[in-house]
Structure 1
Amino acid sequence: MNLASLSIKRPVFITCIVTVILVVGWLSLKKLPVDLFPNVTFPIVTVTTVYPGAGPEEVETLVSKVYEEELSNVPGLKKLSSQNLENVSVIIAEFNLSTDIKYAEQQVRDKVSAARKKLPTEINEPVIRKIDPADQPIITIAVQSNLPDGELYQVVDKKIKPQFEQVNQVGLVDIVGGRKREIKVELDRNKLKSREISASQVASRLQISGQNIPAGKVSSSTTDSVFRTLGEYKTINEIESTIVNFIGNDIPVTVKDVGLVKDSLEERKGYGYYNGQKAILLSIYKQSGSNTIGVAEAIKMKALKINDSLKTENSNIHLEVVRDGSRQIKANVDDVYETIVFGVILTIIVVYFFLGSGRSTIITGLALPNSLLGSFILLAAAGFTVNIMTLLALSLAVGLLIDDAIVVRENIFRHIEMGADPVTAAIKGTNEVTLAVVATTLTVIAVFGPIAFLDGVVGQFFKEFGLTVCFALIISLFDALTMAPMLSAYFAGKIEHHEPGHIKIKKGIYDHTLGALLEKFNQFQNWLEDVYVGVLKFSLKKPMIILLSAFFIFIASFAALKTVPKTFIPAPDAGEFLVSIDLKPGTSLDGMNSVATEIDNLIRKNKEVLNTVLTVGDANGQPEKATIFVNLIPGKKRPGLTTSKFKERIRTQLKPFAYANPAVRDIDAVGGGQRPFNINIVGDDMKEIEKYSGLLFEKIKHHPALKDVDTTNRPGKPEFQVVPDRTKAQKLGVSTTLMGSELRTMIEGSKAAVFRELGEEYDIRVLLQENQRDLKKGYNETFVPNINNSLIKLSSMTTPLETTGPANINRQDRGRYIQISADIAPDGPGMGGAITDIKRLLSDEIKLPSNMRYQFVGQAENFQELIANMMVAAGLGIMFIYFVLASLYESFVTPLTIMLVLPLAMCGAFYALAITHSSLDLFSMIGCIMLLGVATKNSILLVDYANQQVQQGLSLYDAIIASGKSRLRPILMTSFALIAGMIPLAIGLNEASKQRTSMGIAVIGGLISSTVLTLVVIPAAYTYIERFRVWAGSIMKKIFMTT
């Protein structure tokens, strides 16, 4: 007993199963976490080390190279790179995707620990962390007040920040901007000299005098006693009165004798602004795997409660949510939900018009909620999330999900029209098309299944997409073979018996307008069938003309494809973007602040700008950098002005600030702002790297595919170097370590101890007075200690040298590199065009020496990976489709007829993309892969029925005619249903969906071409291939008979 017979004989049993699927599916949907993208594991571990006062070259030599030496032999390491900036080393260890990230992190920790003894003692504790694609703030909150900086920071750090940290599933709260309280011991160079004491000695004395040291524990028969020495400073007076030296043997020298102790703030490292007003920013991160939208809502509720609490305290502190990362997630998820809903409605309308029966439409349409909700059960079981990729999979599958039910229901409907009773029609009609339905479903699964197992980062994103489609199709196949025949058998209603396709509308049920419309559509179907039979006869009489025409159309599609821009992910119309500013190295923080605020003010003069957030000075302590986050008013309030168009306006407005290298760029949903196009020029000789990267930069800075082309190669930062005369220094007992340590304490300052007040700790920093810290001016009055702590004049053993040093040094696989980056021009040839042209340039015009190489990174690397993976997916899909069809039809030749439609579908997609000026990107490539499975469905229906008719004794010609007439309606129904489901995706219902329109356009174009050409080309090819099959069979038979 097959499924159809079982469902008809046991309707209650099947109804209960389907009800359980619907209920459990709904509960699963409610419990699934919501995010923008699938949970993707990036096997990347970073090591960030702060080396105060060190330049990029010192950071590279003394820190990064040491780490690289240790980490280079870690198992599974794919790529090792580092960024060496002033004061900061960032090591980036990228592992193979098969590497367990927890194991990799532990390996890195072990290696860093082993390298610790080789590193300078002045470095801060290295920070080791894994990279998470969702590791960026989901909410940014601006805290504004007219309180002094120190007081406001104290309130934010001790009162506001802990409240956000207590919100469920919040992982981290970072404070950006503001200045912490710090106790500064500002020394006077002249007083130090007169008392023969160095700045390093003062710092050392404060350190050894200002610590709490545990002494141990003594146990008795009844108690344990803990002993410790208390030395931490609790008052400013304690610091001032600390003895740091003696004159002679009995005259003490205290801190206040050589300087001033100030209750101050730490040196300013940056500024934060919200809408032009100073602010402290809170960047709030969620825990990995948590529901982004839920966490964001909880954070916003907490912000409202904190504001209410501050108002009751009569505080003038105000919190404002200035960036909500969940907004884009919600907009995208809601948009795909809308796309699914509208797709379902349009699909059902199409089915209704073809069947002309409300009851039949309901029976067929029930496949959609059953399959969609049932899919969420499997999503939950697989540990997936509700995200763009899973929802896109379901939106693509809307038309597919109803296809099987359409084929089954239409065939049952046809038998009822011919006079069979509903039960007999349900059993016979389902059995006739079971093989075709199973074949069509398996061919689509054969296409999407391999997508789930692609390699690389792109493959991880596609895993949930491919499996979600497969899950939905499995449920829809079950529904088509159970619910559709069962409901058809018992709820089909009365249908007047007449020729198939000639439906008489009951105008008593429907109003005159709808009834007349359905009559007209019915007449159109009849006319179309007559026309098609005529075209089909011509196709069978002149098959070569048809086949040559199809071949010409296919070849010409490649010319159309050349005009289509190729890129990785199109820029979204997100209503937000970034403007980065980069002045020349050596620019002061106040100098950058002046320029950045002027640009920020200019941007905010545009009426379409809702708000801006400006940060001056980056996280790595580079004062010459600034970033402006621009948030636009909703798209409905700026009709016709997309984010891309507004960005072009801002680029024009910023031309007078060309000296500041402004770059207008999108916010990368994964990388948090990384530019889409990046290429590294790697080598050992920095001068050679600068030369060739400079040549490439000049060649591509005006490339039509790129915008705001920039390079990491910057003019040198001004340096004042002290070059010791080693012989003189050694005779005087001064080592470079003593010399460098003293100069660091004088200028950068040393954290000597902590100051404790009301349970809080604050750093005590020792350094020279502000007007004495310029070594260039005070070179001749500067003294450093020797090994006996005697002060030696610096100028007596050194030579000053004013020069420039690198602003940053980037390394990859133990060599240096310069990176060229850019944004993708919205109307250019796309990333694919840029990559192709640059490869040609580096092959023909700018030939790199043998010891140098180039590498595309970021989205440019992902784009190449995407192309390679899609080629693999397409190849595997075609191979699996062939195997499935060959197995089902027990023939190696029949699948060739069915699969002839594949190139016909691709050419339609190419033409559609070219005509609509859409790009070939991640989304349209998904559509093209989908077409491989979808296009074969119609071909299977046509060929399967023709084979049945041949087996029943009809001639080849008559079988094809009969197949064309009987399968025209289901083919058109399934195709139009698919097209209807894609229309909302293709037109883009709102801002969020504009990024994905290329997917719908590609699918609709491919469906139109494959449907039209399937109905004409496949019959023409079938005559040749079927004759070949018979001829080959007879030859094989003769061979085996003779042997």
Structure 2
Amino acid sequence: MAISTPFIHRPVATTLLSIGLCLLGILAFNLLPVASLPRVDYPTISVSAKQAGASPEVMAATVATPLERTLGRLAGVNEITSTSSLGSTNITLQFDLSRDINGAARDVQGAINASLSSLPSGLQNNPTYRKVNPADAPVMILALTSKTLSRGQMYDAADTILGQKLLQIDGVGDVSIGGAAQPAVRVELNPLQLAHYGVGLETVRSAITATNANRPKGFVEQKDQLWEVQANDQAKKAQDYLPLIISYKDNSPVRISDVAAVKDSVLDTRNAGYYSEQPSVLILVFKQPNANVIETIQRVKDMLPTLQSALPTQINIQVAVDRSTTIKASLREIEMTMIISVILVILVVFVFLRNGRATLIPALTVPISLIGTFALMYLSGFSLNNISLMALTVATGFVVDDTIVVLETISRRLEEGLSPMQAAITGAKEVSFTVISMSISLIAVFVPILLMGGIVGRLFHEFAMTLSYAILISMLVSLTTTPMLCAWWLKSHPRQSSSAQLEPEHFPISDSEALRLASEDDYIKQQGLFGRITLMYKWSLAVALRFKALTLIIFLFTIAFNVYLYVVIPKGFFPQQDTGVLRGSLRADQNISFNAMNLKLKQFINVIEKDPAVDHVMGTLGGAQINNANLFLALKPLGERTDTPTQVMGRLRKNLAHEPGATLVLTPVQDIQIGGRLSDAGYQYTLQSDDLNSLRTWTPRLKEAFNKLPALTDVTSDQEVKGLKTALQFDHDKMTQLGVTQAQVDSVLNDAFGQRQVSTIYNAMNQYHVVMEIAPEFAQSVESLRNIYIQSSSGGAVPLSAFSTWQPENTSLSVNHQGLFAASTLSFNLNNGYSLSDATDQINQVMNQLQVPSSIHGNFQGSAKAFQSSLSSQPLLILAAIIVIYIVLGILYESFAHPITILSTLPSAGLGALIALMLFQMEFNVIALIGILLLVGIVKKNAIMMIDVALTLQRQQNLPAEQAILNASVLRFRPIMMTTLTALFGVLPLALGRGNGAELHVPLGISIVGGLIISQILTLYTTPVMYLYIDRLSQWGKEKFEKFPSFKHINVKK
């Protein structure tokens, strides 16, 4: 009994099973999470430490190196990088994709604890970690503005109220507040007055530190009452510090008001933030690795009304950037594309069958297969994203194929005169093996993808599994629901033939004989226009079979041309997405002041705001590197602009070239971030060396060489060694004579110029600091060092100039490490008309030409590194797919030879895909590679349908191979055309996509459409010819084996 028979005889049960599958799919669809892409984030943890006033070299040597040595021993660490700048160190750990981030976080905390004994005692706090990639762009930006409050007051509200609440939201990895600093009391000392009163800086520091004690005092118990002891042991406002006595001179008290100005200000005055040219405090919300973007943003949005009500009424909170907007738009676009694909596929079926009842069958089975797939997606923990929905759109053309093969066969049986029930049973039995062969061999294509490692394997795991689920469900539906519907829905439409009516009751012939007779010309003529097209194909195929050698030469040429096109086609990694957000890095001279840089930032924001594609701009300035400001550009929705991010970047690059003194580098924010080092441009090339001087010599040389490469633009370096510093030389003998120690001098210099936090003010909702430094007007030049005095051991005040000299020198603004070695990173974008493969080839060529010393090692990082890895594995991946399919087909057909015939269809598909990509000036990237792999599974269906019938005619009717393949090709011409056109029209909306997210699926659609067109033209002729050559080779091999007694027991089938 055939697989389909019990389902045909039990229509109620089959119908209920189909309805149940749909209900499960609909329920799963509503439960599936929504995301832009599958979870492909590397588990990444960022460790940070701060020490106010410490130079980048000091932070690198005393903080970064001890932490790196301990953290580098953790299991599963793929990459460890660090950046040390003035007063801060940030270390980024990137783990294996298989590593659980929560377990990694526990290990990181343990490593930090183990490192504490090796770290300097002057750290403000112990190092902390966040489960976030610092190279990621924020998923949401909130802007705080006010007409009455200062930035410091807005920052206080953001830090105290918003920051803490936002970090509690599930999925939020970090919250960064920029544009201002925490409120603080600033004590600005007059060194001349200090010298006049004979008071040292350390004396002032000790007095201020002692002012804020806030220690427990205990309780007093009196009879039946308990009294808590409290005291005014905190000075919370600037005015509270003015009367503070710090010393006595001539029995008169010296107060802070005598030697300093005290202000209610902020912790760091060198900060600024802007939202559309308005002074603003910006809150950047980052998601945790593998957190769902849309769900995280929605949770933040849900909390905004509560947060707004908790803020002072003078503060307005606005959503400046919302990444979920474009993600939702792209998902709506791909969902609409899938619906259009289903409609087109059904229309193709109707055009071929010209039967409304027959067309309704795939109109039901295709949605059943697609909806049922959602249930398996939910059980597998997948999400509705651009990749999985793209797989379902592609699956539209696949799932209808099985139905078409079954439906077309049953329809042909009906045309032969069989009853609907008998036609359904006979037709389903006839093609069940074909349907199973096509489905299993198609799924086999995805086995190499499922076994792939790295980010590409993780990215397309959901794609491969979703498509496999759809194909499996389609196979089951086509062997159960489809024949049942045919049996109970279709009607008999026998057609008279001048030669014979192919009905077993009148002509007791076998199935194979019916197949042979059905290819006769008289029978074909009954099919109208398509019949005449079939006769033309039959005539042209007969010609091709007479000139087999010429057809074989065309086949071999196709293989050679494939190889040539693969070598010359521009190659990329992942299509550049239009997320509607650009990230900018504004760099100026390394010795620029804060005020000058702040002015530059406002000038650039003003120019950017005038661009027609830009909605609004956000910018922040401050922190360790004053010469660097960060910008975020929110573009207008795609419906309100016609420019791509690349075009906007090019226009702004041209307009901003007229702004002197600074350079802005823009990159589009992407949903996939590879690598943990934040750079100015989109791609990175990192130089490593154990010789820091050699690294500093060669980095600018290579940067200059990279600037000359035609494929590169926006070349920048994170090596900044031209900052200004004052280098002090101490006379240690004089220091000893004067009673001054090295530690004492360093501490006094930090008191004077380091914005030193000398005391903590405890508040009910937060902690604030008292910052001590000399007044800004006394720190305008290097000569201010002459006003610094140190208390000697004898009690006198010793001027700094008495035992030291100083001179100006250059210094590093940051020190970078990668893998424990000193490193510098050159970042770059691509020029218009150039691909990533062009850039990597040119860079490698330059490295060889310049003869860079062996002590310096250069490697691509981030996306460029992943691109090189995927590029080397692409041929192996395609080869693996071919081998897997060969093995599966060999098992199904019990033949070594005929799987080669089926695989001979592949070169023409690859040729069509590559030609289409080049015609549309598109790169060959990982999306196009998936299209090639899909073509491997699609086009072999044509050969399977031909060879199944040809083998049946040869084995059961003893027809010659040439006659058998001719009849089989003609007989299967209609289902071949139907399956090819349905696959083509199924992906055509992907190729023609122009809305949100189109940049992801257009390469897939272009490659599949091109491959299907060329392969359909060629394989209709090359496959029959290859069948004859393989059949001849098989016969020869069989004869040779039979000459050896040891091989006589082997049954070599055709």
Q: CA separation of 1:218/1:765 partners in 2, compared to 1, >3 Å: closer, same or farther? A: same
* 1:745 has 2:751 as partner: yes
* 1:894 has 2:879 as partner: no
> What is the CA deviation profile of residues 696-742 of structure 1, one whole-angstrom value per residue up to 9, with x for unaligned ones?
33333243332222222335101012222223223434333221121
Q: Once structures 1 and 2 are overlaid, which stretch shifts more, 814-823 or 863-872?
A: 863-872
1:496 to partner: Cα distance: 4.1
Q: Distance in 2 between matches of 1:874 and 1:256?
A: 79
Q: Distance in 2 between matches of 1:299 and 1:945?
A: 61
Asked whether the equivalents of residues 214 and 229 of structure 1 are also in contact (C-alpha less than 8 Å), the reply is: no
Match of 2:868 in 1: 864
1:225 to partner: Cα distance: 11
* 1:734 has 2:737 as partner: no
AA aligned to 1:483 is T
Q: What SS class does the counterpart of residue 819 from structure 1 fall into?
A: strand
AA aligned to 1:372 is L
Match of 2:281 in 1: 280
Q: CA separation of 1:447/1:573 partners in 2, compared to 1, >3 Å: closer, same or farther? A: same
1:120 to partner: Cα distance: 2.2
Match of 2:74 in 1: 74
Match of 2:385 in 1: 387
> What is the CA deviation profile of residues 65-102 of structure 1, one whole-angstrom value per residue up to 9, with x for unaligned ones?
22223333333333332212222212223334444433
Match of 1:647 in 2: 649
Q: CA separation of 1:309/1:198 partners in 2, compared to 1, >3 Å: closer, same or farther? A: closer
Asked whether the equivalents of residues 84 and 90 of structure 1 are also in contact (C-alpha less than 8 Å), the reply is: yes
Q: CA separation of 1:788/1:332 partners in 2, compared to 1, >3 Å: closer, same or farther? A: farther
Match of 2:630 in 1: 627
> What is the CA deviation profile of residues 802-844 of structure 1, one whole-angstrom value per residue up to 9, with x for unaligned ones?
101012222222222221111123422x00111122223323x
The one of 343, 346, 358 aligned to 1:345: 343
Match of 1:795 in 2: 801
AA aligned to 1:117 is S
1:1018 to partner: Cα distance: 0.8
> What is the CA deviation profile of residues 293-336 of structure 1, one whole-angstrom value per residue up to 9, with x for unaligned ones?
355355446557877999xx9x5543332211101211221121
Q: Distance in 1 between matches of 2:162 and 2:818?
A: 41
Q: What SS class does the counterpart of residue 451 from structure 2 fall into?
A: coil
Match of 1:776 in 2: 782
* 1:903 has 2:915 as partner: no
Q: CA separation of 1:99/1:572 partners in 2, compared to 1, >3 Å: closer, same or farther? A: closer
Match of 2:773 in 1: 767
Q: CA separation of 1:751/1:807 partners in 2, compared to 1, >3 Å: closer, same or farther? A: closer
Q: CA separation of 1:404/1:223 partners in 2, compared to 1, >3 Å: closer, same or farther? A: farther
The one of 517, 522, 535 aligned to 1:530: 535
Q: CA separation of 1:759/1:601 partners in 2, compared to 1, >3 Å: closer, same or farther? A: closer
Match of 1:681 in 2: 687
Q: Distance in 2 between matches of 1:224 and 1:456?
A: 66
Q: What SS class does the counterpart of residue 4 from structure 2 fall into?
A: helix
Q: Distance in 1 between matches of 2:589 and 2:218?
A: 55
Asked whether the equivalents of residues 454 and 869 of structure 1 are also in contact (C-alpha less than 8 Å), the reply is: no
Q: Distance in 1 between matches of 2:134 and 2:1011?
A: 34
AA aligned to 1:13 is A
* 1:374 has 2:377 as partner: no
Match of 1:426 in 2: 424
The one of 972, 980, 987 aligned to 2:977: 972
Asked whether the equivalents of residues 587 and 623 of structure 1 are also in contact (C-alpha less than 8 Å), the reply is: yes
Q: Distance in 1 between matches of 2:948 and 2:62?
A: 73
Q: What SS class does the counterpart of residue 709 from structure 1 fall into?
A: strand
AA aligned to 2:966 is I
1:695 to partner: Cα distance: 3.6
> What is the CA deviation profile of residues 864-890 of structure 1, one whole-angstrom value per residue up to 9, with x for unaligned ones?
122234334323211211111011111
1:610 to partner: Cα distance: 2.2
* 1:850 has 2:831 as partner: no
Match of 2:595 in 1: 590
Q: What SS class does the counterpart of residue 714 from structure 2 fall into?
A: strand
Match of 2:519 in 1: none
1:395 to partner: Cα distance: 1.8
Superposition map of 1:188-587 within 5 A: 188-214=190-216, 231-234=233-236, 236=238, 238-245=240-247, 253-285=254-286, 291-297=292-298, 299-300=300-301, 303=304, 315=313, 317-497=315-495, 523-587=528-592
Q: CA separation of 1:118/1:304 partners in 2, compared to 1, >3 Å: closer, same or farther? A: closer
Q: What SS class does the counterpart of residue 366 from structure 1 fall into?
A: helix
Q: CA separation of 1:985/1:520 partners in 2, compared to 1, >3 Å: closer, same or farther? A: farther
1:417 to partner: Cα distance: 1.1
Q: Distance in 2 between matches of 1:793 and 1:91?
A: 39
Q: What SS class does the counterpart of residue 48 from structure 1 fall into?
A: strand
Q: CA separation of 1:715/1:603 partners in 2, compared to 1, >3 Å: closer, same or farther? A: same
1:155 to partner: Cα distance: 4.4
1:253 to partner: Cα distance: 4.4
Match of 2:148 in 1: 147
Q: Distance in 1 between matches of 2:43 and 2:908?
A: 41
* TM-score, reference length from structure 1: 0.91
Q: Distance in 2 between matches of 1:279 and 1:704?
A: 40
1:290 to partner: Cα distance: 5.7
Q: CA separation of 1:217/1:469 partners in 2, compared to 1, >3 Å: closer, same or farther? A: farther
Q: Distance in 1 between matches of 2:310 and 2:56?
A: 46
Q: Once structures 1 and 2 are overlaid, which stretch shifts more, 193-202 or 8-17?
A: 193-202
Q: What SS class does the counterpart of residue 933 from structure 1 fall into?
A: helix
1:1019 to partner: Cα distance: 0.5
Q: CA separation of 1:705/1:427 partners in 2, compared to 1, >3 Å: closer, same or farther? A: farther
Cα RMSD, aligned residues only: 3.1
> What is the CA deviation profile of residues 333-365 of structure 1, one whole-angstrom value per residue up to 9, with x for unaligned ones?
112112211111111111111111122112123
Q: Distance in 2 between matches of 1:66 and 1:386?
A: 44
Superposition map of 1:661-740 within 5 A: 661-671=663-673, 675-740=681-746
AA aligned to 1:741 is S
1:546 to partner: Cα distance: 0.3
Q: Distance in 2 between matches of 1:370 and 1:94?
A: 42
* 1:37 has 2:42 as partner: no
AA aligned to 1:449 is V
Q: What SS class does the counterpart of residue 93 from structure 2 fall into?
A: strand
1:273 to partner: Cα distance: 1.7
Q: What SS class does the counterpart of residue 1044 from structure 2 fall into?
A: helix
Q: Distance in 1 between matches of 2:355 and 2:229?
A: 91
AA aligned to 2:927 is F
1:480 to partner: Cα distance: 1.1
1:594 to partner: Cα distance: 1.4
1:194 to partner: Cα distance: 3.9
Q: CA separation of 1:791/1:481 partners in 2, compared to 1, >3 Å: closer, same or farther? A: farther
Match of 2:503 in 1: none
1:196 to partner: Cα distance: 3.8
Q: How many residues in Structure 1 have an aligned counterpart in Structure 2?
A: 1016
1:552 to partner: Cα distance: 1.5
Match of 2:936 in 1: 932
Q: Once structures 1 and 2 are overlaid, which stretch shifts more, 650-659 or 6-15?
A: 650-659
Q: Distance in 2 between matches of 1:749 and 1:729?
A: 25
1:759 to partner: Cα distance: 5.3
Match of 1:608 in 2: 613
1:548 to partner: Cα distance: 0.3
Q: What SS class does the counterpart of residue 611 from structure 1 fall into?
A: strand
Q: Distance in 2 between matches of 1:236 and 1:277?
A: 28
1:146 to partner: Cα distance: 1.3
Superposition map of 1:863-1012 within 5 A: 863-953=867-957, 954-1012=959-1017
Match of 1:122 in 2: 122
AA aligned to 2:854 is S
Q: Distance in 2 between matches of 1:91 and 1:361?
A: 61
Q: Once structures 1 and 2 are overlaid, which stretch shifts more, 353-362 or 991-1000?
A: 991-1000
Q: Distance in 2 between matches of 1:523 and 1:650?
A: 60
Match of 2:810 in 1: 804
Superposition map of 1:21-170 within 5 A: 21-125=21-125, 126-131=127-132, 136-149=137-150, 150-158=152-160
5+ residue gaps, structure 1: 503-518
1:226 to partner: Cα distance: 9.4
Q: Distance in 2 between matches of 1:36 and 1:956?
A: 52
1:257 to partner: Cα distance: 4.2
Among all aligned residue pairs of Structure 1 and Structure 2, give the percentage whose two residues are the same amino acid: 28
Q: Distance in 1 between matches of 2:816 and 2:57?
A: 10
Q: CA separation of 1:169/1:923 partners in 2, compared to 1, >3 Å: closer, same or farther? A: closer
Q: CA separation of 1:299/1:128 partners in 2, compared to 1, >3 Å: closer, same or farther? A: closer
